[in-house]
Amino acid sequence: MGSIVSSTPTSVPPRTPAFSASSALKTLAAIAVLSLAASSVHAQGPQEWIQRILDPAKIGVPPPPGAAMNRKLTVDYLSKADPPKEMAIYMVPLDQMQAASDHFKSILKVDPVTTGSGEYEIRRFDLSNASGPAKGLVITLAKSQFVDNKVQITMEYLPPK
């Protein structure tokens, strides 16, 4: 049996050339350009989210009587929505789904699109293509997944450009 170690000398791997000054400068310039591009995108924070809370009265669509705004959920949702979308989330008791839906139906003069049934029923008023001050408004009524025994009324508004 032969030895595992070879007595044949091996060659040293060739050295790779060090970065030249010009390639290092190019890399630094590329990083600087990318940093500038990233910093020019306005980062949204809590102050900007709060400023985008929808005041539905300004577009002539007040929330139903007895509805309470859930500011925390509103800001949480706004943190995930791109500007200039405005939003407000209201809560009403679960047994008020029909009354809330009738309230919006009487103001908007449109029927909601209803999907699901029972506790999974969702009613949606979509005025994305309507005319008037509420153009761009979408109202969704559904059982809240975050607040027990409440209907969540999500009002999303994309102001006209």
pLDDT score, position 82: 87
CA distances from 140 to 5, 36, 48, 123 (A): 76, 40, 23, 6
pLDDT for residue 41 is more than 50: no
pLDDT for residue 7 is more than 70: no
pLDDT score, position 8: 60
CB count in 10 Å sphere of residue 158: 16
Percent over 70 (pLDDT), the chain: 73
d(CA 78, CA 71): 10
pLDDT score, position 33: 52
46 preceded by a cis bond (ω within 30 of 0): no
pLDDT score, position 9: 59
Interval 1-30 mean pLDDT:
59
Interval 61-75 mean pLDDT:
97
Tell me how far apart the 2 most distant CA atoms of the chain are, in Å.
Answer: 97
Interval 80-105 mean pLDDT:
96
Between these two residues, 124 and 18, which has the higher pLDDT value? 124
Between these two residues, 130 and 2, which has the higher pLDDT value? 130
CATH class entry, domain 46-157: alpha beta
Q: Find the range with the poorest average confidence among 40-54, 74-88, 141-155.
A: 40-54
Q: Dihedrals φ, ψ of 118, to 5°?
A: 60, -135
d(CA 61, CA 137): 9
Amino acid at 119: E
Cβ atoms of 157 and 136 within 8 Å: the answer is yes
Q: Dihedrals φ, ψ of 40, to 5°?
A: -75, -15
pLDDT for residue 14 is more than 80: no
Q: Where are the beta strands (DSSP E) in the chain?
A: 68-69, 86-93, 113-115, 122-126, 137-143, 150-157
Between these two residues, 32 and 143, which has the higher pLDDT value? 143
Q: What is the pLDDT of residues 20-39, one digit of tens each?
A: 556 655 665 556 555 544 43
Enumerate the β-bridge partners of residue 7. Answer: none
Q: Dihedrals φ, ψ of 75, to 5°?
A: -65, -40
